[in-house]
Every structure is written in C-alpha cells, then in structure tokens.
Amino acid sequence: MKRRINTWSEIDWITIILYLLIVVLGWVSIYSAGYNEEHNKIFDLSQRYGKQMILICGALIIALLVVVTDSRFYSLFAYIIYAIVILLLIVVLLIGKEIHGAKSWFEFGFFRLQPAEFAKIGTAMALARYVSSKSFNIKNSNNVFNAVVIILIPAVLIYFQPDTGSALVYFALILVLYREGLPGGILLIGILMMVLFVLTLMINKMAIIIALMVVGFMIFLIIDRKIKRFLIAVLIYIGLSGTLFGLKKFAGLGLSVYFILILSLIISGFIYSFFIYFYRIRKAVLIYMLMLGSIIFTFSVDYAFNNVLKPHQQKRINILFGIDSDPYGSGYNVNQSIIAIGSGGFSGKGFLKGTQTKFEFVPEQSTDFIFCTVGEEWGFRGTSLIIILFTTLLLRILFLAERQRNGFCRIFGYSVFVILLFHFVVNIGMTIGLLPVIGIPLPFMSYGGSSLWAFTILLFIFLRLDISRLEYLV
Amino acid sequence: MKNIYENRKYVFGALLFLVVFVFIGKLFSLQVLDKSYQTTANRNVLRYIIRYPARGLIYDRTGELLVYNEAIYDLMISPNLVEEFDTSVFCDILKITHEDVEKKLENARKYSYYTSSPFLKQVSSETYAVLQEKLYQFPGFFVQPRPIRKYSKKIAGHALGYVGEVDEHVIENDPFYKMGDYIGISGIEKAYEEVLRGEKGVNVYMVDVHNRIKGSYQNGKNDKPAIVGTNIVSTLDADLQEYGEKLMMNKVGSIVAIEPSTGEILAFVSSPTYNPSSLLGRGRSKVFETLSSDTLEPLFNRPLMATYPPGSTFKVINGLIGLQEKVIYKQTEFYCDGGYYSGRIHVSCHSHDSPLNLPEAIQNSCNAYFCNVFRRILDNPVFPSVREGYNSWRGHVLSFGFGQKLETDFPFELKGFVPMDSYYDRYYGKTGWSSLTVLSLAIGQGELLITPLQMANMTATIANHGYYFTPHIVKEIEGEEKIDERFFSKHFTTIDSVYFPIIIDGMDMAVNGPPGSGSTARIARIDDIIVCGKTGTAENPHGEDHSIFVAFAPKDNPKIVLSVYIENGGFGATYAAPIASLMIEKYLKREITRQWHENYILETDLIHNEKEN
Ligand SMILES: [Zn+2]
C-alpha cells in the first residue's frame, strides 16, 4: 500500500544543503583557477567556469528528475540499467574517442561523455538489488562470488580503456559486502595483500621482510603478554639467523640473505610449534602462518612483476603507483600541488589572488587538482572547511543508510558512501602528497560534466530511496 | 528489523575519522607549521631543467660507429619572468635581429605565459660559452642542453632513418613524450625508438629573482639523472654500403644485399639518397622541402616501398614450382621458335639455341620455355579447373614471402601484389579466364608487384635451398642477449630442397656459361668466385624499362645475395648485373680488381642524360 507523502518536506535537506555548498565552492575554485584579466565574466562559455555553470544547472535539473521518479523504478530496473552501462563500457572500447592514450570518452559534437563515471550508478544498483534479494546469503561463497563479479565486470572493462584510477574505485564496493556480513578477516587479508603488493613495488624486499617480522613479534607480544616467552622467541630467531650468517661468513657457504632469513623463520616456526603444543597458544600459529604467507606473497609479487609482466604492463603499474619514469609526470604535479597548498598558509592569499594555481603551474588544475586552488587561496581554513563538509556529508549518508528498513536502500546507500569516500580519500590524498597520483576527480567539485552528473544522480537516487521508507510499509 | 551486522557501521565511521585526522594533520603541517612554502612560493621559483638523454649509438656490423650525439643548447624562456633587457647585446651574442627578438617573445607569450618554451633552438657550443656568462642580464631566459644526432659518414640515410620533434598527435597518444622531445621518424631510429631513446631526467632548482640558480630544490630529492639510450649494432657493412651508394650515383634505383645464412641486411641503398645530417639542425625544414619536391624522390625508400613487376627473375620461381608439381623435370625440353604461340597469343623471345632443358632455359632466359611450364602448372590435370591450378601456383609463390609484408624490423614495408583468383574473376568473369589469359605471369610481367627487398629475400631463399630468415637491419641490442625471436626461425617454402640445385645450376650458367652459349649475364662474372645470377627487366609503361639483377655468391656456401634495380636502365645485364658483380667482389674480396668495370659504372649517368633527351 502506497502512502501519499510530501516529497519536499520529507527529503533530507541536510544532505542537499551540504551538496549545494560543496558544488558552489567547487565552482568558485574553478572560476578562480581559470580567472584572468581577459576572461572575467561569469558566463563566459569559452572558459571552464562558464561551462561548469551550465553543467551545474544541468545537474540540478537532473537531480529534480531523479527525485520525482517513482522509487520502485530504481530497484525494478537495476539490472537493466546495469546492462546498459556495461554495454556502454564495451562500446566505448570499440568506438570511443582516444584522449591521452585512453579510450574513455564518447564525443557528441562539443559534448563529451565518460561512461565510466555513470557505470558506478548502475553497478551500485545491481549490487544492491542482488545482495538484498531473498536468495542471497553472505555465507554462501557462490553468492559472494557473484556479487564480486558484478563489481569486477565494469572495473575490468575500464581497466582496458585504460583508466586504472577509475577502475580502482570499484574495488571500494567490496567494503559494502563487509557491512552485509562478509567476514572481516577476509577483508583484512585482502587489505594486507594490497598494501604488501604496493610496498613490494615501491621499496626494498628486505625492508618489508624485516618489518613483517618485527610486526609479527609485536603482535605475538601483545596477544601473549608474557615478556619471557616473547624474548625466548626473539632469541631463538636471532640465534638461528646469526648462526646461518656466521656459516655464510666463516664457512664460505653461498647463502643469500633472503634465504637465511626465511630458513631461520621456518626452523624457528617448528620450534614455536613445540611451545604451542606445551603452552596452548593457538593464536601464535595464526600469526606465524600469516607472517610466512606474507613473505611468500612478497616474493611472488616481486617475481611476477619482474619476470611475468611485459614492460608495458610494468609501466602501467608503475604509473599507477606514481613510480613514474617521466620527470614531468607525477612528481611534477605533486611538487607543484604541495607548493601551491603550502603557500596558502593559515588564511590563504585570498580569492583570485593565488599565483601558483593559475594557468599551468599545477596541471589538471580545475579537474583532479582543484583542491590546490582551495589550499592556496583560502589557506588552512579553506581546506579544513572542505574536509569538514565532506566528512559531514559522508556521516549523514552513513546515518541515512543505517535508518533504511529495506536492504536495497541500505546497500545502495553504503555504495554511495564508499564510492564518495574512495574519491575523497584518493583525490585529496594525492593532492597533498600522501598517496600516489591516481587521476580521479574530487566529487562535486572537480571540473567536468560526467563526474558531476554521475555523482549527483548517485546521491539523489539515494535521497529518493530514503523518502520511500515512509511510502511503503514493508 | 535489527541487522546483526549493524555494529559494523562504527568501523566505517572510524575509518572516516582516521582519514580526517590524517588529512587535517598533514594540511596543518603543510600550511601552518611549515613556513618554507609561504616565503618561496610568491613566484614560481622552481625551475625544471630537463636532462635529455643521449640517444643510443648505432654501429655497423664491424663495429664502426655510424651515428652518435653531440651537445647543443636550446635557449629557453619563461615569459612571466622576463624583464627589460639590453636587446642589442642579446642580438649580438645570438646573431639575430631585433625583429626576431620581438617576434619570438610574442610567440613564447602566446604559447604560455607561465610555462617555459624554447626561444632559440640549437645554439652552438661557442655561442653558448659567451651567452652563459651574460645570462644574468636576461632574467626569464635560461639554457637547456640537449644532445643532437651526428653521423660519421654521409651514408645509409634510408636505413638509419632520422629523428625529429614529436608532433601533437604523438604527444596526445603517448604520455612519454612532451612538447619539444625528439622521436625516431623513419628507419632504425623509428623501429628501435624505445631502445634508442633512453629516459629523460630532470634537475629541480630554486631560482632567485635575478634569474640565478640558488641550488638544488630539497637537496636534489626530486632530481633524476637522464638514462642514456641503448646502443645498437646494425647489420649493415659500412664499406659495402658506401661503395653501393657510390656505384648508384647518378642512377635511380636500389641495392639490397643480405647474408642468406642469417637474413642480416648488409647493404640497403636507395638512390638518389640524402645526407642524413642535413635533416637535423636549424636548416632542417628547408632541406626537407627541397628533398620532398625533388621529382626523383630522394626521400622515397625504394627497397621497401617501390614495387615493380619482377620480370625474368621470376622465371626461377616458375621453374621451381614446375619441378615441385612434377609437370617438368630437369631434362624436360621445349622448342622456342622466336617465342611462344598459342592461338592469337604471342610472347616473343630473343634468338638462342633450341630446344633447351630447364637449366639452359634459365641460362638463356627463354620466354617460350617458361610459358610452357606455367601453362602446365595451371592446366595440370590433377586439378579440376584452372582456378585450383592457379591457387596452387599462388600458394607456392606466397611461400617465398611475396604478396605480404616480410615483417622485417623496418617500419613502412609494403606488401607488393600477387593477385587472388577473384581479381581475375572481376576482370574476366568467373569462367572467363584460363592459363592463357594470365600467361604474362609466366615471365614475371602482368599484375605481379614485388619490392626490391622481397626480391633479395627470394634470392636468399634460393641460395639457402628453400628457406629464408626474415631480413633485418639490427644485429645486436647492447645488454640484450638476442634480438627478436622472429629473426631466428627458418621460413620454409613449399618447394623441396632437392629442386634448388637444378635452378642454381641454371643461374650459374647464366653468369659463367662459355662465350656464345647464350648466357645472359656474363658481364657479372668474377674470375675466382662463382657468382649465380638472373637478369630481369621490369616493363615500364612510362618510359625505358627497369633493369633488374639478382645474384648470390659464392655458389657453394653463399655469403651474400643481392637484388639490384636500375630504373630506366633497360635490359637487366646492362647496369644492374655489373653493379651486383662489383658489390660481390667488394664484399668477398674487400677490393676491386676490375677497374674498367668500376669506371664504366661510375661514369654512367642515367639521370642527367635522360633529362637532356
Ligand atoms: Zn626462347
């Protein structure tokens, strides 16, 4: 039974106000980044800020359309919309326009569309529909596998464009499955593997192995809380590797350092097994296995990267993680970006007064590096305001998602949350030099129609679904 | 409904707060605690000086250096930092006019007010030495060193290729390249671009308001040295190449020489040629214009891209196919009465003894003989129709590498043309053609089109008794164990190796037959080396026919194979054969004993004579 309710009094105005604030601040920054003496009219359509103004108006109309649509539409048509976006991703690979070496765009005259941005909406809908269906059980590995496939199909297609940054966003959706009951251990191991993967490519194997061992021993200490046993464990290990190093040095055995470290780890593992047998410290086995597994994983990543991957694939991964060979590449962007933000100081240089973020100092100024402009012109006050706005918005979405009574709405809400979170973290993290340069936009702020519209649709579908909890009593 | 996993919302919340904490902390340290950025960033004090790597060197097969690098300097400008300066001193140093300065300043401002761009490219080291001392007087200008290609000899322009600035299209599609970078545009420079180019480096400096470098930014933390490109050993023999180019002076055509046991290209001459260093430096665009408007097309890469009908050289292929299909044997004889007659069709022949067997027919290059052979191949009763006969013949032909790219390491290779049966269907209807209709294929005329490189490769296949290695121009890449795998596999033809000696005997007799026996290429004979060869003439509807000669030597254990093309050179023996012979002597003996022979070729001028006519 459907109840009549007033959409405009029930819709979550807090979210809308936060949304509008961020969009307006984004436009102001784009205006400032593109501003110069010759072009200073707000509606100058030859400039990015002029175009963005039109795009924002378009976004508001789209938001309105999304809200007046019947909420059942979104769950009913979830799979169809998913199929359409997948089709678009395939078509763009075939006939898309290639810009900067990636086939990511459809071009219609003066207008360009990036299907990868819109694919997030379809994927979130399909995931929500599938995971909320009655037949879905988080404990059934087949079901979980299917859900992961829903996420991976668009990611793989986007990877082939190649637009690795946008492809990575989809992995964030796996976090939604955690909220729905996926064991945390699986997630932790996944995260551990990803971190190790990146570290292996970026720093010395040796450092990773030593760090892993130290962490392993520390966890052992924390869990066991017996300093004596901890010391014995460490002594056994040091004694073993010391003996082996001695053999290497004085008996002239041709042992590699890695071999020694690993051999002593395995042998000491056997010795610990006795400990465990006598003292029943089960968790020690787990730590030991995890540590050994991690080290083996580190070696295999290293091996696979250097011996299995072709040079162009290595290059793609290197670029993704900012280990770029090109001097004017990522290092340049990040340096310029940090200088720009740093020069803003506490209160900034003032609106339109930025010197670093004008024109070409920071490339991709109005798209991926828009946060720089804020940092330079509004200083620490501006940057923390933006971070607070985003945080509040994200918390609000989390709150709204939790108050849904229906699985579809909650899962969709969480999808919106993790997608926005991922973009927020990666974009700002890269701009301030904490994360490698992965070119993805800052939601609602970066210049570009596809990303603005796609995020707007994503957010307003969720707001529409939120109202529907009052319409239907399920 | 209470969800049992609801508590996990706190994990998400905690994650968010962790991020916020880290971000705010980092921003606080960057914007509030660290004052260094605030004092320095009032203007763009960082200067990125790109360290251009030297491209890899190119050697010939004997280790002789062919291509190397020399330093030149680009004078760069950052328009936003330019202040009033003394233009006359500036012009004196650079030897340019005041108008030049105005124009270049305006161009640079138009390109970008804040990003630096080249003001004057390729300043010599002498000018640089003077400029360097006065540079402080010209804020906004700085010097960017860069290596430029140098050639030790003026040879092998078409094989080595040249480098030039990248265009917009390349920059859009490959993030490796930036405005002003150089890239290989043809030849080895293009084919091995990724090997030769090396990696750009960068030095980041702090610069004060007086345009003086104050030192490395962050102690050179962001600097990166340039990585020099990898050296390459080419398969070319520089002496042979130089000699070939000398012989081809005042002639239009090409020479391709290959070592048959490896597929390595020993000489790659395209005539007229150009001096590779003329396409570098400041005069480049003018030279390029002159070269491209020349009617003799010096920039045209003839060995790879010129396609001609093979003429009589193709008789060796038809002979081999006839043997393989068992429609003839070594001793099979045909009469020749001044040509081949069938109904209204007539293919004429020159006068010679008759009848001839197969080797003799190759020696004499008898047209009638090969018309007979060709008809037997196509009208072979084992095939239900001429179409199957033709397709079987075509299959054999393709196995020699004709009608397709050989997949050498050169860019821009052409396929040539071996018509499909459907090609004739279109002209004559599905049942409208027979072996007689396509008879010109018997003597290598008609629709067939073959490049000089494919022709040399065919000769290598014969010298090897039935297989070839894909021809290639690069022998070694420094630091790599091997060049590409594809250059080490034998491509076998569809002809059994036992049939090749019969054809080779014919080619031997064509060069070394006793006087008066009808040998067509006695002019290619060398006393103590057994040269095997075959003449050919490519019909040219636009003028004098093209002269072709293919050869290999010595007969046993061949060391070199060649195809020589002389455009408008008439019959194959006239010019092509003696040139091939001299090349063989040069390569195998390293000296020329037949001076009169050499003089005859050197004195021949087919370009200027023709123009007078
Ligand atoms: Zn004859």
- Could you read off the pLDDT of A399-446 as tens digits, one per residue? 999 988 888 999 999 999 999 999 999 899 888 877 777 778 999 998
pLDDT of residue A461: 94
Judge if B463 and B420 occupy the same domain: yes
Tell which B residues from 381 to 440 touch A, by Cβ distance under 8 Å.
none
CB A335 to CB B44 under 8 A?
Answer: no
Report the SS3 class of residue A99.
strand
Predicted confidence band of residue A325 (pLDDT cuts 50, 70, 90): very low
C-alpha–C-alpha distance, residues A455 and A463, integer Å: 12
- Cis peptide preceding A327, ω within 30 of 0: no
The DSSP bridge partners found for residue A112 are A107
Question: Does the pLDDT value for residue A398 go beyond 70?
Answer: yes
**Nearest Cα to Cα of residue A118 among A431, A467, A448:** A448
What are residue B204's DSSP bridge partners?
Answer: B48
pLDDT at site A388? 94
Query: Any chain A CB within 8 A of the CB of B174?
Result: yes
Res. A357: pLDDT tops 70: no
| Whether pLDDT at B208 is above 60 | no
Position B43 pLDDT exceeds 60 = no
What is A404-434 written as a DSSP string? -SSHHHHHHHHHHHHHHHHHHHHHHHHHTTS
The pLDDT of residue A316 is 57
Neighboring chain A residues of B172 at a CB cutoff of 8 Å:
98-101
Give yes or no for a contact between B123 and B64, defined as CB atoms under 8 angstroms apart: no
Lowest mean pLDDT among A87-96, A121-130, A308-317, B198-207: A308-317
Ligand 1 centroid to residue B529 C-alpha, Å? 28
In tens, the pLDDT along A127-173 reads 999 999 888 888 888 888 999 999 999 999 988 887 778 888 898 89
Residues contacting B276, CB < 8 A, separation 6+: B67, B149, B151, B154, B156, B157, B160, B162
B137: CATH: 3.90.1310.10
Interface check for B37 against chain A (CB to CB < 8 A): the answer is yes
Would you state the pLDDT for residue A416? 95
A327 vs B15, B27, B202: nearest CB: B202
Kindly report, residue by residue over A377-388, the tens digit of the pLDDT.
Answer: 888 999 999 999
Cβ pair B38:A345 closer than 8 A: yes
Could you give the CA distance from residue A401 to residue B415 in angstroms, rounded to a whole number? 64
Exposure of B268 in the CB half-sphere (CA atoms within 13 A): 32
3-state secondary structure of B39: helix
Q: How far apart are the first and last CA of chain A?
A: 9
Give the pLDDT band (50/70/90) at residue A326: very low
CB contact under 8 A, A425 and B19: yes
* pLDDT at position A282: 65
What is the model's pLDDT at position A330?
46
Top mean pLDDT of A139-143, B15-19, B123-127, B198-202 is at B15-19
How many independent structural domains does chain B possess? 2
**What number is the average pLDDT over the span B351-370?**
86
Q: Residues B222, B242: one domain? A: no
- Examine the domain organization and report whether B396 and B433 are in the same domain: yes
Domain co-membership, B250 together with B203 = no
Higher pLDDT, B349 or B213: B349
Per-residue burial over A90-128, b if 16 or more Cβ lie within 10 Å, else e, is eebeeebeeeeebbbbbeeeeeebbbbbbbbbbbbbbbb
Mean pLDDT of B306-330: 88
Cα distance from N-terminal residue to C-terminal residue, chain B:
103
Substitution target in B30, B42, B193 with the highest count of A β-carbons within 10 Å is: B30
Does residue B414 form part of some domain? yes
Predicted pLDDT at B346: 83
The two tokens of residue A184 are 């945390």
User: Are residues B258 and B372 located together in one domain of the fold?
Assistant: yes
Q: Tell me which residue range forms the domain holding B128.
A: 49-234
* CATH number of the domain where residue B391 is located: 3.40.710.10
B1/A310: higher pLDDT: A310
Residue A329: per-residue pLDDT: 47
- State how far the Cα of B217 lies from the Cα of B36, in Å rounded to an integer: 12
Q: List chain B residues with CB under 8 Å of A405.
A: 1
Residue B128 and residue B246 in one domain: no
CA nearest A426 in B: which residue?
A: B19
Spatial separation of the C-alpha atoms in residues A310 and B523, rounded to whole Å: 53
B44 located within any domain:
no
Residues B188 and B247 in one domain: no
Q: Is the predicted pLDDT of residue A226 greater than 90, yes or no? A: no
- Can you tell me the distance from the alpha carbon of B400 to that of B437, in angstroms, rounded to the nearest whole number? 24
- For chain B, the average pLDDT equals 83
| Same-domain pairing of B501 and B539 | yes
Q: B115 CB near a chain A CB, below 8 Å? A: yes
A23 with A343: CB under 8 angstroms? no
Q: Quick one: pLDDT at residue A317?
A: 62
Q: Which of A178, A361, A379 sits opposite B114 (nearest CB)?
A: A361
Contacts of A339 in chain B (CB under 8 A): 37, 40-41, 46
H or E segment to which residue B46 belongs: strand B46-51
Tell me what pLDDT residue A42 has: 61
Percent of chain A with pLDDT over 70: 79
DSSP tag of B114:
S
Question: Which residues neighbour B574 within 8 Å (Cβ) at sequence distance 6 or greater?
Answer: B547, B566
pLDDT higher than threshold 60 for residue B501: yes
Query: Per-residue pLDDT averaged across B8-26, rounded?
Result: 90
Q: What is the pLDDT of residues B333-342, one digit of tens each?
A: 888 888 888 8
Taking only the tens place, the pLDDT of each residue in B155-178 is 888 888 888 888 877 777 776 777
ipTM, interface predicted TM-score of the complex: 0.82
Query: What are the two backbone dihedrals, phi and then psi, of residue B24, each rounded to the nearest 5 degrees?
Result: -60, -40
What is the predicted pLDDT for the residue at B103? 82
- Closest-CA distance, B121 to chain A, in angstroms, reads 20
Chain A nearest C-alpha distance from B174 (Å): 6
Q: Lowest mean pLDDT of A64-73, A301-310, A349-358, name the range.
A: A349-358
Q: What is the pLDDT of residue A283?
A: 65
The answer to whether A101 contacts B172, with C-beta atoms less than 8 Å apart, is yes
Q: Of B130, B135, B313, which is closest to residue B207 (Cα–Cα)? A: B135
> From ligand 1's centre to the CA of B373, what distance in Å?
13
Nearest by CB to residue A398, choosing from B9, B37, B200, is B9
Q: Are residues B310 and B449 in the same domain?
A: yes
Q: A170 or A258: which carries more pLDDT confidence?
A: A170
Question: Do strands B532-538 and B58-59 pair parallel, antiparallel, or not at all (unpaired)?
Answer: unpaired
- Is residue B398 domain-shared with residue B500, that is, in the same domain? yes
- B243 and B224, same structural domain? no
Q: Count interface pairs A-B at CB distance under 8 A.
A: 139
On whether any CB of chain A is under 8 Å from the CB of B170, the answer is: no
Determine the pLDDT at residue B354.
80
Kindly give the distance from the C-alpha atom of residue B365 to the centroid of ligand 1, in angstroms, as a whole number.
7
Are B534 and B365 contacting, i.e. CB atoms less than 8 angstroms apart? Answer: yes
Are the beta carbons of B16 and A327 separated by less than 8 Å? no
Provide the pLDDT for residue A100: 65
Q: What is the predicted pLDDT for the residue at A360?
A: 47
As residues whose CB is below 5 A from the ion ligand 1, the structure lists: B 336, 349, 366, 368
* A440/chain B closest Cα distance in angstroms: 17
Percent of chain A with pLDDT over 90: 27
B172 part of contact set with chain A, CB < 8 Å: yes
pLDDT on residue B613:
39
Between A86 and B383, residue with greater pLDDT: A86
Highest mean pLDDT among A55-69, A109-123, A259-273, B403-417: A55-69
Percent of chain B with pLDDT over 90: 11
CA–centroid distance, B513 to ligand 1, in Å, is 17
Which residue from B32, B42, B172 is facing A346, i.e. has the nearest CB?
B32
Task: Evaluate if residue A471 carries a pLDDT over 80.
Answer: no
Residue B570 has pLDDT above 80, yes or no: no
**Confidence at B612, pLDDT banded by 50, 70, 90:** very low
pLDDT the model gives residue A52 = 86
pLDDT tens readout for residues B50-78: 788 888 888 998 888 888 888 778 888 87
Between residues 359 and 398 of chain A, which touch chain B (CB distance below 8 Å)?
359-361, 375, 379-380, 383-384, 387, 391, 394-395, 398
Name which of A84-88, A228-232, A358-362, B442-446 the model is least confident about: A358-362
A395 and B16: CB-CB below 8 Å?
yes
Judge whether residue B357 has pLDDT over 80.
Answer: yes
B19 inside domain: no
Residue A74 near residue A464, CB atoms below 8 Å:
yes
Q: Which of A28-42, A89-103, B129-143, B482-496 has the highest mean pLDDT?
A: B482-496
Structure confidence by residue, pLDDT tens digits, A80-113: 999 999 999 999 888 887 776 677 788 776 677 8
- Which pLDDT value is given to residue A294? 77
Q: For position A298, what pLDDT does the model report?
A: 77
Q: Chain A contact for B150, CB < 8 A? A: no
Decide if A387 and B20 are in contact by the 8 Å CB cutoff: yes
The reported pTM is 0.60
Coil vs helix vs strand at B47: strand
Q: Minimal Cα distance from A176: which residue of B?
A: B12
Please, which pLDDT band fits residue A328 given cuts at 50, 70 and 90? very low
Taking CA–CA distances from B15, the nearest residue in chain A reads A421
Tell me the pLDDT of chain A averaged across its residues. 80
**Domain spans, chain A:** 7-182+317-471, 196-308
Q: At residue A442, what are phi and psi to the nearest 5 degrees?
A: -85, 120
Tell me the nearest-neighbour CA distance from A273 into chain B, angstroms: 34
Q: Do B12 and A101 touch (CB under 8 A)?
A: no
Both tokens assigned to B569: 């050179």
What share of chain B in percent tops pLDDT 70?
92
**pLDDT-based confidence at A79, cuts 50/70/90?**
very high
Q: Which residue from B27, B38, B178 is facing A383, i.e. has the nearest CB?
A: B27
Chain-centroid distance, C-alpha A5: 37
